[in-house]
Amino acid sequence: MRSFSSLAKLRSRRRSRESGAIIFVVAMTLVVLGSMGAYALRAAATETRTSGYARASSQTRYLTEYGALGVTHILQGPSAQFVYDMMQNPVTQDGVPGRPQCSALASVPSTITQQSSHSCRVFTSDEASLQWTALNSAGRRPALDPWTGVGSPGSFGTHIRGNFLVEVTEPMRMASPSGFDQNLGFCFASFTLTATATTFPDLDPSNSTGILAGQNVMSGRAHVTGGPVICGKGGG
Would you give the end-to-end CA distance of the chain in angstroms? 117
Of 91, 90, 86, residue with least CA distance to 114: 90
pTM over 0.75: no
Percent of the chain with pLDDT over 90: 8
Asked whether the beta carbons of 67 and 165 are under 8 A apart, the reply is yes
Q: What per-residue confidence (pLDDT) applies to 95?
A: 47
Rounded to 5°, angle at Cα 213 from 59 and 37: 85
Q: 94 in helix, strand or coil?
A: coil
Res. 99: pLDDT tops 60: no
Q: How far apart are CA 141 and CA 163, in angstroms?
A: 15
Q: What per-residue confidence (pLDDT) applies to 134?
A: 54
Q: What per-residue confidence (pLDDT) applies to 218?
A: 92
Q: What is the pLDDT of residues 127-149, one digit of tens each?
A: 877 666 555 555 566 778 777 77
Asked whether the beta carbons of 63 and 162 are under 8 A apart, the reply is yes
Residue predicted with more confidence, 187 or 17: 187
